[in-house]
Amino acid sequence: MKPQKIQTIKELDPIYDQMQLQYGAKELHAITNGGCIDNPRVCFVFMNPTGRNVASLSDWKGIHSPWIGTKNVWKLFYRLGMMEERIYTKIQSLKANQWDEKFAEEVYQDVKDKRMYLTNLGKCTQMDARPLSNRGVSTIFRFIISRDCINSSRKDCDFWQSSK
């Protein structure tokens, strides 16, 4: 392993992309994170992303954040008072394929404004919610998530990357 200096969370994205190619569905993008990166009030950590997230599709050019194109999790945030009614209503009215990059940005601006940070334990997207069998993958996911959430407000965290 060799040390790699990480200045921002976004610098982890290329590492997530490498992991996606190695462990995820090759035709999908990794789903990373979104919302308030610097000093969030609350961090929601979900499990592994699936192809139901339209941001995982190969032709998606926008942000690769959790739950884009879905409805249920936004219902939870709305009921907790953590989402603007106007945005929630639009989410509920759209089908997955009707989300576009601009609307995804609008949703995640609201997430950011509410000082929420959303991420996944696993970053590698699968077609379905099957568990990943490679124990090493789950180990690196735990390590990365610790950098992703715990150090979200730090500007200088080290990341030890496998040379494989």
> For residues 85 and 155, what is the distance between their CA atoms, to the nearest angstrom?
34
pTM of the entire predicted model? 0.77
C-alpha to C-alpha distances, 29 to 8, 80, 105, nearest whole angstrom:
20, 30, 17
Report the phi/psi class of residue 149: left, alpha or beta, with left for phi > 0 and alpha for psi in -120 to 50: alpha
Q: Which residues contact 149 (CB under 8 A, 6 or more apart)?
A: 43, 45, 117, 119
**pLDDT digits (tens), the chain, 164 positions:** 345 676 778 888 888 888 888 888 889 998 889 999 888 999 998 887 888 899 999 999 999 999 999 999 999 999 999 999 999 999 999 999 999 999 999 999 999 999 999 998 777 777 776 665 555 455 555 555 555 555 444 443 333 333 33
pLDDT at 22: 83
pLDDT at 158: 39
pLDDT at 20: 84
pLDDT at 90: 98
Domain ranges of the chain: 2-161
pLDDT at 138: 57
pLDDT at 144: 58
3-state secondary structure 27-61: CECCCCEEECCCCCCEEEEECCCECCCHHHECCCC
Helix, strand, coil abundance in the chain, percent, nearest 5: 40, 15, 45
